Chain A
Amino acid sequence: AQKVTQAQTEISVVEKEDVTLDCVYETRDTTYYLFWYKQPPSGELVFLIRRNSFDEQNEISGRYSWNFQKSTSSFNFTTTASQVMDSAVYFCALSEAGFNKFYFGSGTKLNVKP
């Protein structure tokens, strides 16, 4: 079974629209970490955020925000007023207790059109 599910394969929006990328995870651990990474066309994965399982506060960083809800095992990522430069593949990842092994989702490709 997939530990991290990103059901949206590809999303297309027009500039200035808001868009939410979904991430659903599965774990039996009480201590775990969730991550979001951005992969622009150049290929390098860029770290965006880390969240631990004990901190359910939503995070906002500029136009980006993250909604962590343990009740639904979700860690969604929202971009407000999207820009063309936001176009990339976004990956959600889970790290459980023990060795620092990541479980990545399959990624969501975001296309922001002018």
Chain B
Amino acid sequence: SQTIHQWPATLVQPVGSPLSLECTVEGTSNPNLYWYRQAAGRGLQLLFYSVGIGQISSEVPQNLSASRPQDRQFILSSKKLLLSDSGFYLCAWSVSGRVVRDTQYFGPGTRLTVL
């Protein structure tokens, strides 16, 4: 069965510090991968998605970036965090290469607080 991991689970970082959040998927190959952010009490905002290694699409221009160095690894980064980067970051995956709109399955999330 497929599982998705995220770490760290929680993170407190000062403004201006770098960020690296990691997401890995097990039990499937060549998944579509997604990064979402959820501000406190708000809905989900799609940040990045990837259909393959090295293929990243950005949905919202900001000081965040994403990379996919391996098939089942998706990394969210920032060189300098802003207060507004605080939130709950969720990684998700779906089956790729299909016409059917497949379900996205979410990881446990990382709660980021920027002070």
Residue ranges of A at the interface with B (Cβ–Cβ < 8 Å): 32-33, 35, 37, 42-47, 50, 52, 91, 95-97, 99-102, 104-107
Contact = CB atoms under 8 A, between A and B. Distances in A.
A96 B99 CA distance: 11
A44 B101 contact: no
Contact of B111 (A35, A43, A50, A102): A43
Nearest to B9: A43
Given A43-B109, A45-B90, A45-B106, A33 B101 contact: yes
10 tightest Cβ-Cβ pairs between the two chains A and B: A45-B106, A33-B101, A95-B101, A106-B43, A104-B44, A43-B109, A44-B108, A104-B43, A100-B94, A50-B103
A101 B51 CA distance: 11
B35 interface: no
A32 B101 CA distance: 8
- Chain B, interface SS category: strand
B43 A91 contact: yes
B41 to A, nearest CB: 9
Interface of B: 32, 42-44, 46, 49, 51, 88, 90, 92, 94, 100-109, 111
A50 B104 CA distance: 10
A83 to B, nearest CB: 23
A96 to B, nearest CB: 8
A9 to B, nearest CB: 9
Contacts of A47: 103-106
Contacts of B100: 52
B102 to A, nearest CB: 6
Given A43-B109, A104-B44, 9 more contacts: A32-B101, A33-B101, A43-B88, A44-B90, A44-B106, A100-B94, A100-B104, A102-B104, A104-B43
Contacts of A43: 88, 90, 108-109, 111
A44 B32 contact: no
A102 B106 contact: no
B39 to A, nearest CB: 11
B89 to A, nearest CB: 10
